[in-house]
A and B are shown apart, each in its own frame.
Chain A
Amino acid sequence: GDQVEQSPSALSLHEGTSSALRCNFTTTTRSVQWFRQNSRGSLINLFYLASGTKENGRLKSAFDSKELYSTLHIRDAQLEDSGTYFCAAASNNNAGAKLTFGGGTRLTVRP
């Protein structure tokens, strides 16, 4: 079935540093969403992309539908960025309108 491979599975950053998360898709994907799951378990929408790039403050995401990957860049990491980040791919076939989630990246930002 459809697979979403997310890396790294865990990441530790010092405040003020930057890094990138990546998702690789095994099949054609119509769109991708990025979420942050906070300590209370809530899923916070970060980005929805059908193509190209989007930026919101210190976060920037890109989606290359031909090369089957998406990235999430975090710039100048802050303590409140800690949490688990998920990417999710929307199916581009007759399987239905579902999101297939990656396994998540657990981000810890340290002082």
Chain B
Amino acid sequence: DMKVTQMPRYLIKRMGENVLLECGQDMSHETMYWYRQDPGLGLQLIYISYDVDSNSEGDIPKGYRVSRKKREHFSLILDSAKTNQTSVYFCASSGQIYAEQFFGPGTRLTVL
């Protein structure tokens, strides 16, 4: 069953702590993405990864960094989390750029 997984599903952190969100996919997709969704809004792109160690900033990269050391895994890192980074984070993957994207279930992050 092809899917995108995310861990953890829920996370509470204090301001200034480091946060690691993990994403995996079993479809051998080259391209992976991190988005965030705030209440009442659609998703906004944080970072794109075109393959291992080939990452590009999206529309809102400030305060985030990413790591992709294996094709099937893509991590989102918040160094010193801020309260305005409280959001739901979605990971997605696609077989090629501009192809259909498939989304994980999301991680709800609360920064206190």
Contact = CB atoms under 8 A, between A and B. Distances in A.
B101 interface: yes
A45 B102 contact: yes
A105 B69 CA distance: 37
Contacts, number: 58
A42 interface: yes
Chain B contact residues: helix, strand, loop or mixed: strand
Contacts of B45: 98-99
Interface residues of B, number: 25
A43 B90 contact: yes
29 contacts: A30-B98, A31-B100, A33-B101, A35-B103, A40-B105, A41-B88, A41-B108, A42-B105, A43-B106, A45-B100, A45-B102, A45-B103, A48-B100, A96-B58, A96-B97, A97-B48, A97-B50, A97-B97, A98-B33, A98-B45, A98-B48, A98-B59, A99-B45, A101-B42, A101-B43, A102-B42, A103-B40, A104-B40, A104-B42
